[in-house]
Structures are given as C-alpha cells and as structure tokens.
Amino acid sequence: MNSAADMQEKTNDSLHNDSFKGSKQKSQDALALVIIPTFNESENIGRLLKEISSLYPKTVDLLVIDDNSPDGTAEIVRSLQQEIRSLYLLEREKKLGLGTAYIAGFQYALKNKYRYVLEMDADFSHDPKEIGVFLEAMRSADLVIGSRYMNNTVNVVNWPLGRLILSKMASYYSRIITGLPIDDPTSGFKCFSADVLRALDLGKVHSQGYSFQIEINFRVWKKGYTIREIPIIFVDRSVGKSKMTKRNIREAIWIVWLLKIKSLVGLM
C-alpha cells in the first residue's frame, strides 16, 4: 500500500498552531490519521485510544478534537499522551459541533501530510478492528464509507427503533433529493484519501452538525471521486450520552435542499 520511499518522502512538519496543546511531530511512518471528535466521552475515550494504538502501533496516528468537555475527557487524553506516542489533542473552547471539529481535523491532517484520514466516533459504535479493512479498501477508492445498510440489510445492534427510523429516513431523503448513490450517507465511520480532502473547498462546507456527513459525501461525489461502501456493524453506545439534538435534524433537512439547489445552479 505504501512504499518505504513514499514514507520517507513524508516530512515531519512541526506544528505551528498553538491550540494543538501537547502535540508533537507526526509519526514518521504513520500512514493514516484517525480523527475522533469528543464531547463528554470520559467513559469511552481512554479505552478506545489504547485499543486503537495497540492494534495499529505504527501505521495510525490519533487526533482527538475535544470541545472543552466538562467531564474531563481532555485530561484523560493528555495523560495518555505519555504512553501513546502518536496521540494528538486539539482543544476547542466550547461545543462547536461535529462538522467544524472534522474540518479542523482535516486541516491538521493535510498540514501534516497523512495519506489517509479516518473519521470515527469515540463511543465504540465503530469497531477499531475495522480500521485495517478501511485502509485496505482505499486501494480501490477515494472515499470509503462504513455502511450499516448495504444490500438492504440493517447491521445495527441495540439502537432504539426511533433512532434507526430517523437514520434510515435521512438516507432515503438525501438520496431522493440529491441523487447521492450511497446506502448510508450519515455514517460517521469513513476514510478519505488526503487528495480528496485537498480538492474539497473545506472553507465552504455549511454543516455544523451531523449533516456534515451527507454534505461531505455529496461534495466528494460531485467532484467525481470513487466512493466505496463496506459493511460495518454499528453497536449503540453502552456508556455516555448521545449528542444528537433536534437542531441537528433541522439542519440536515435544509442542508440537503441547499446542496441540491447549489448543484443545480452550478455552484458545486
């Protein structure tokens, strides 16, 4: 997947952004950056970071983007930076939404010259063991999406029926209005090639919250990149609270129309 020469070509850029507290240099041989946004995930984050770093000690670096969680999530990450060499932390001053967290993470990944950039939730809904499958699938795609709904199946464990219906409705709605040919457009477990992220105008992304997933997929699709879905099993969080709000749902409803209109008038 990556030659030694390619790896050497990557530079170890120092970071020049003061908000990346405790950051070091990018690991020399890291192929991918896993971005994990957090808000009040103190019960999950430590175990998750340890698990990923023990599964992928060399190929994967980790970036947690924490929005000043009152439960001490950032302190846990900071203390783990002593034992996990490839763990970085971006602390933002308040809860600014999932979409803006990912944009900040993408900018960090591009600046530090990772080849692949993964998105992942902190709450163990996404299985760390799948990261290798995503990287393998990137051989034949520019964006790989972990799908809960491929081939008319539903691979969701322990989700309340209401959440499942909402998620399925969002998938149908975004497909009918925009034509986006993806079974699970709201999935938050995915992997981008850095080239795709570089080609997107990240400053133009509208979504602050969960509709970010739909919007970014739409932008990648519109640019003609290859999107591949791979099946994942999504397990509902067992600890911590959901951050999904009615505001997120309202945003998704209008964002889909905005994307449609912008693409019709040639603005996308």
Ligand X SMILES: Nc1nc2c(ncn2[C@@H]2O[C@H](COP(=O)(O)OP(=O)(O)OP(=O)(O)O)[C@@H](O)[C@H]2O)c(=O)[nH]1
Cα 172 to chain centroid distance, Å, stands at: 21
Residue 183 makes contact with Mg ion by CB under 5 A: no
Residue 119 makes contact with Mg ion by CB under 5 A: no
Residue 101 makes contact with ligand X by CB under 6 A: yes
**C-beta of 77 vs 259, nearer to ligand X:** 77
Site for ligand X in 124-143 (CB under 6 A): 125
Q: How many residues make contact with ligand X (CB under 6 A)?
A: 21
**One of 20, 27, 41, 214 touching ligand X (CB under 6 A):** 41
d(CA 175, CA 183): 8
Residue 39 makes contact with ligand X by CB under 6 A: yes
Closest CA to 64 of 108, 25, 6: 108
Amino acid present at 50 = K
Provide the minimum distance between the beta carbon of 65 and ligand X in the complex, in angstroms, as a whole number.
Answer: 5
Residue 37 makes contact with ligand X by CB under 6 A: yes
**C-beta of 73 vs 125, nearer to Mg ion:** 125
What is the contact mask toward ligand X in residues 50 to 89, using x (rule: CB under 6 A)? ---------------xxx----------------------
What is the contact mask toward ligand X in residues 187 to 216, using x (rule: CB under 6 A)? -x----------------------------
Identify what 171 binds: ligand X, Mg ion, none; CB under 5 to 8 Å per kind: none
Provide the minimum distance between the beta carbon of 52 and ligand X in the complex, in angstroms, as a whole number.
Answer: 13
Please identify, among the stretches 25-33, 51-59, 134-142, 237-245, the one whose residues bind ligand X according to the rule CB under 6 A. 237-245
**C-beta of 239 vs 267, nearer to ligand X:** 239
Identify what 98 binds: Mg ion, ligand X, none; CB under 5 to 8 Å per kind: ligand X
- Phi, psi at 20, each rounded to 5°: -85, 75
Residue 243 makes contact with ligand X by CB under 6 A: yes
Binding site for ligand X (CB under 6 A): 37-39, 41, 65-67, 95-98, 101, 121-123, 125, 188, 237, 242-244
